[in-house]
């Protein structure tokens, strides 16, 4: 490829000027000079680097800075940090150089954006470590996370040029951590785009079909919206209200989510769009005017009383304020109407950054976000568990909707949806949580695992004799409660393990066995304990008895050669090499790894892949390579937390091998229906069934069939045939959702 250097230089300058034009309204004296200095430094540092797409690397920092200004509304410090966000990680420039030229604030932000270097032990996750480090800086300066989201958004927009396994890893990490984080910080537009891009790169066929359907229905949708808002417009004009009305389709991802969760085709997703009424009014009139507009809408259309959401009186924890109602249009279709002010809309689209803009006028409004940031700081200070535990706990609290409850004195507390009385106890204080034996909710006695409802008033009952149990982890959802319970259990476990270690050393001494590191390691393997601490703990608890220790004396460890297939590998590359050395099955049909070798694998039970499915290989700790579908319910978590253990995998169909998969059949019941279904399966298409269960209720039947098919083509043929049976309304494939 011939590169036109002059043209590239012109393009770089054009993009830089475009950035300055967008930033102009916010620049103060001297800002443009600082931005130029950062741009020059980044340009020089990245001058010999190119992205996978072949374009100059500097396009990336420029694009990230552009997103910060244009789509998030950030200022000069963030522009400088965005331009320099990769220099410490990818070039010779040190943090000290940046501090000398741009000061402490920029340095701290860039440090938070620079990935954690160093080696990670097996079972931890580099992505999780990076995420935790980024959040440490977030708790000091929220701009770190906003720039990181801009960086991620640009990477997702340019993911096309990446290899397939990298696309899966980055997309899964995005849906697992970054989209929820954007949601939590109120960046609605960015959250929706990240979700849509995730779907585009993990399931292109589904993404394209939804886009096509949205385009095909656009004209009729616009016509419908026009008719729907006509009477509302006239009434708002009559009241001289300053407003704007937008009709916007749901995001591709949310349509897909609905289709998947409710198992319905695109045509049956009724709330494909929402009508948004944005009014311009001073802060003190906001609430009254929003309710006045609600009253106008419901004069023309009947509202669904179960679907009224008032986030103006109690904003969401991410600061989101709006009034939502679902009303019945004249053609019998439900339409969601969102009513909000210009300020609320700004905050809904631009999130946290927009809060600062309104800070003077609306101190109360951002207190929820402030509270959330305080919680993040709290979680980080508490957390001495593994980074993976931390990320999973943090995720759990990122997206859950909230439940609002009251203390006996009437103080409002916000907890994650699904929180229990025990969560509430830990929210008040660790000591209260640790001693909790039950609660009184609205003056009625309830157990500690009672799930809180909005508006509950709770009084916690305690006892000095009570202490946390392992079971408690099942009763709590908030990361604060989980981490405090784990801390107490850890302390207990340590004490028992210390006793266990003493018992073991005494016993080995009596048996005249040297208590060297090697012997302890062999014992750990013999008793199948994940760690030394665990081995000592089991001895201390009496799970491993003195008799068991005596039996160990006769144990002869296997030679390293024999145990090779069970080597605990740290990444996918090593296991590919290991398995290729010892492989014996050349006749199989799944090709794995960079060199597309034939190696041993197992099919994951959580998504039962079959030939023809889009799949990836995942290196497990002790079961070799497991094959998952890219649409597997657990894929996002595996790929997001352990991207370094993912290997490419691709089917080549050359053998008639049968794979177990499941079909759900629904329809109207009639005599002989089951017979017709099983006839098609076993006689016409000669498919073996492993199980079949049907049940009927008021003339509607539902059935689940487990059967063996060769590949996705074979499965489609079977589904088409079954759908032609009289009475059958819908046939769909299903996965078992359990994590192995």
What DSSP string describes 237-300? Answer: HHTT--EEEEEEEPPHHHHHHHHHHHT--GGG----EEEEEEE---GGGHHHHHHHHHHHHHHH
Mean predicted confidence (pLDDT) in 500-504: 87
| pLDDT tens by residue, 331-351 | 888 889 999 999 888 888 776
Question: Which are the contacts of 309, defined by CB distance < 8 A and separation ≥ 6?
Answer: 322, 323, 324, 325
- Residue 466 CA to residue 510 CA, distance in Å, equals 39
Q: Give alpha helix (H) positions in 30-118.
A: 31-45, 59-67, 76-83, 87-90, 95-102, 104-113
First to last CA, the chain: 47
pLDDT digits (tens, 9 = 90+) for 402-449: 777 888 887 778 788 889 999 999 989 889 999 999 999 888 899 999
Q: Tell me the per-residue pLDDT of 607-642, one tens digit each, with 9 for 90 and over.
A: 888 777 888 888 887 777 888 988 888 888 888 877
Q: Within this chain, do residues 384 and 344 fall inside the same structural domain, yes or no? A: no
Residue 556 falls inside a structural domain: no
**Region of poorest pLDDT, from 118-122, 374-378, 547-551:** 118-122
74 within domain boundaries = yes
Give the integer Cα–Cα distance in Å for 604 and 383. 32
Of the chain, the percentage scoring pLDDT greater than 90 comes to 23
The side-by-side arrangement of strands in the sheet containing 436-441 is 444-446, 436-441, 458-462
Residues 642, 674 share a domain: no
Which CATH number covers residue 64? Answer: 1.10.3210.10
Neighbouring C-alpha atoms within 13 Å toward the C-beta of 611: 19
334-341 and 273-279: which strand pairing?
Answer: parallel
Is 557 within the bounds of a domain? no
Same domain, 340 and 389: no
CATH code of residue 339? 3.30.460.10
Residue 362 has pLDDT above 70, yes or no: no
Of residues 133 and 26, more confidence is placed in: 26
Which residue is associated with the tokens 């940090």? 81
Q: Is residue 200 domain-shared with residue 149, that is, in the same domain?
A: yes
pLDDT of 302 reads 92
Q: Does the residue 89 lie in any domain?
A: yes
Residues 393 and 527 in one domain: no
| Judgement on whether residues 677 and 636 belong to the same structural domain of the protein | no
Identify the DSSP state of 26: G
Using CA atoms, how far apart are residues 696 and 703, in angstroms rounded to an integer?
A: 9
Please give the share of the chain, as a percent, with pLDDT higher than 70: 80
Residues 580 and 638 in one domain: yes
Cα(145)–Cα(178) distance, integer angstroms: 9
The token pair at 84 is 């320099």
Please work out, in degrees rounded to the nearest 5, the angle formed at the alpha carbon of residue 666 by the alpha carbons of 705 and 217.
Answer: 125
Q: Which domain holds residue 292?
A: 210-362
Give the mean pLDDT of 467-479: 87
Task: Inform me whether the pLDDT recorded for 311 exceeds 50.
Answer: yes
User: Does this model's pTM top 0.85?
Assistant: no
pLDDT attached to residue 220: 85
Task: Assess whether pLDDT exceeds 50 at residue 739.
Answer: no
Helix pair angle (76-83, 104-113), 10° resolution: 50
Count up the domains in the chain and report the number: 6
Q: Could you say which of 204, 219, 250 is where a domain stops?
A: 204
Residues labelled as active-site residues: 89-90
536 and 632 in a single domain? The answer is: no
Q: Do residues 668 and 647 share a domain?
A: no
Neighbours of 731 (CB within 10 A): 21
pLDDT, position 629: 87
Q: Do the domain assignments include residue 480?
A: no
On whether residue 130 sits in a domain, the answer given is yes
Residue 456 and residue 408 share a domain: yes
pLDDT tens track for 571-586: 555 544 554 444 333 3
Q: Do the domain assignments include residue 481?
A: no
State whether 354 and 219 are in the same domain: yes
For 313, phi then psi, to 5°, come to -70, -45
Q: Computed over its alpha carbons, how large is the radius of gyration of the chain? A: 30
Query: Between these two residues, 386 and 86, which has the higher pLDDT value?
Result: 86
* pLDDT tens figures, 214-238: 888 888 888 888 999 999 999 999 9
The mean of the pLDDT values for the chain is: 80
Instruction: Count the helix, strand and coil residues of the chain and give each as a percent rounded to the nearest 5.
Output: 55, 15, 30
Coil, strand or helix: which one is 402?
A: strand
In a domain, 558, yes or no: no
The domain boundary, picked from 149, 184, 204, lies at 204
The CA angle 551-555-557, to the nearest 5 degrees, is: 155
Angle 727-729-731 from CA coordinates, rounded to 5°: 120
Domain shared by 499 and 583, yes or no: no
Domain boundary among 607, 633, 651: 651
Give the whole-angstrom CA distance, residue 479 versus residue 396. 7
**How far is Cα of residue 475 from the mean position of the Cα atoms in its chain?**
22
């Amino acid at each position: 490829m011939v590169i036109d250097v002059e043209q590239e230089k012109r393009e770089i300058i054009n993009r830089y000027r475009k950035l300055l034009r967008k930033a102009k309204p916010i620049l103060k004296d001297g800002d443009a000079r600082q931005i130029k200095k950062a741009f020059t430094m980044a340009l020089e540092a990245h001058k010999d680097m190119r992205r996978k797409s072949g374009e100059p690397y500097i396009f990336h920092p420029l694009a990230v800075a552009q997103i910060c200004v244009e789509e998030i509304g950030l200022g000069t410090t963030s522009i400088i940090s965005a331009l320099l966000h990769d220099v410490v990680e990818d070039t010779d420039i040190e943090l000290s150089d940046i501090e000398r030229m741009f000061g402490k604030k920029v340095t701290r932000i860039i440090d938070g954006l620079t990935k954690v270097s160093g080696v990670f032990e097996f079972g931890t996750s580099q992505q999780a470590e990076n995420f935790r480090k980024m959040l440490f800086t977030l708790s000091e300066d929220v701009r770190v996370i906003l720039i990181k989201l801009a960086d991620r958004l640009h990477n997702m927009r340019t993911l096309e040029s990446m290899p397939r396994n990298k696309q899966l890893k980055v997309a899964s990490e995005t849906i697992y951590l970054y989209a929820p984080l954007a949601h939590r910080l109120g960046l609605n537009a960015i959250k929706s785009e990240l979700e849509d891009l995730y779907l585009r790169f993990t399931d292109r066929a589904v993404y394209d079909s939804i886009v096509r359907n949205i385009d095909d229905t656009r004209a009729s949708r616009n016509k419908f919206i026009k008719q729907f808002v006509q009477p509302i417009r006239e009434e708002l004009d009559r009241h001289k209200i300053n407003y704007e009305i937008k009709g916007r389709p749901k995001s591709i991802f949310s349509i897909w989510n609905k289709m998947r969760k409710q198992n319905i085709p695109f045509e049956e997703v009724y709330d494909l769009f929402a009508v948004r009424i944005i009014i311009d009014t001073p802060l003190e009139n906001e609430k009254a005017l929003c309710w006045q507009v609600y009253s106008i809408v419901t004069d023309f259309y009947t509202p669904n009383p179960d679907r009224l959401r008032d986030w103006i009186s109690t904003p969401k924890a991410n600061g989101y304020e709006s009034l939502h109602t679902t009303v019945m249009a004249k053609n019998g279709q439900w339409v969601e109407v969102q009513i909000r002010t210009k300020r609320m809309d700004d905050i809904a689209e631009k999130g946290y950054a927009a809060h600062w803009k309104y800070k003077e006028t609306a101190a109360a409004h951002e207190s929820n976000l402030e509270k959330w940031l305080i919680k993040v700081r709290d979680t980080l200070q508490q957390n001495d568990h593994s980074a993976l535990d931390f990320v999973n706990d943090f995720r759990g609290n990122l997206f859950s909707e909230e439940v609002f409850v009251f203390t006996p004195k009437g103080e409002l507390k916000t907890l994650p949806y699904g929180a229990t009385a025990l969560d509430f106890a830990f929210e008040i204080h660790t000591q209260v949580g640790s001693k909790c034996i039950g609660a009184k909710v609205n003056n009625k006695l309830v157990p500690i695992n009672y799930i809180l409802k909005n508006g509950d008033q709770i009084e916690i009952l305690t006892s000095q004799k009570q202490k946390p149990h392992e079971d408690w982890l099942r009763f709590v959802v908030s990361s604060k409660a989980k981490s405090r319970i784990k801390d107490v259990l850890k302390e207990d476990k340590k004490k028992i393990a210390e006793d266990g270690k003493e018992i073991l050393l005494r016993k080995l001494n009596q048996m005249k066995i040297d208590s060297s590191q090697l012997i302890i390691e062999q014992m750990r393997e013999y008793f199948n304990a994940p760690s030394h601490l665990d081995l000592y703990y089991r001895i201390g608890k009496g799970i491993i008895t003195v008799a068991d220790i005596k039996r160990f004396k006769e144990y002869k460890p296997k030679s390293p050669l024999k145990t090779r297939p069970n080597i605990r590998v740290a990444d996918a590359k090593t296991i590919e090499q290991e398995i290729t050395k010892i492989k014996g099955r050349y006749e199989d049909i799944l090709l794995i790894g960079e060199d597309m070798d034939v190696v041993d694998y197992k099919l994951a039970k959580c998504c039962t892949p079959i030939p023809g499915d889009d799949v990836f290989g995942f290196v497990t700790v002790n079961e070799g390579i497991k094959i998952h579908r890219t649409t597997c319910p657990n894929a996002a978590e595996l790929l997001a937390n352990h991207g370094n253990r993912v290997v490419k995998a691709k089917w080549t169909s050359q053998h008639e091998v049968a794979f177990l998969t499941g079909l759900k059949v629904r329809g109207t019941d009639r005599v002989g229906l089951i017979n017709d279904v099983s006839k098609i399966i076993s006689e016409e298409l000669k498919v073996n069934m492993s199980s079949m269960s049907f049940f009927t209720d008021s003339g509607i039947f539902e059935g689940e069939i487990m059967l063996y098919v060769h590949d996705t083509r074979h499965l489609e043929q079977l589904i088409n045939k079954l759908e032609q049976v009289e009475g059958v309304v819908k046939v769909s494939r299903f996965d078992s959702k359990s994590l192995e």
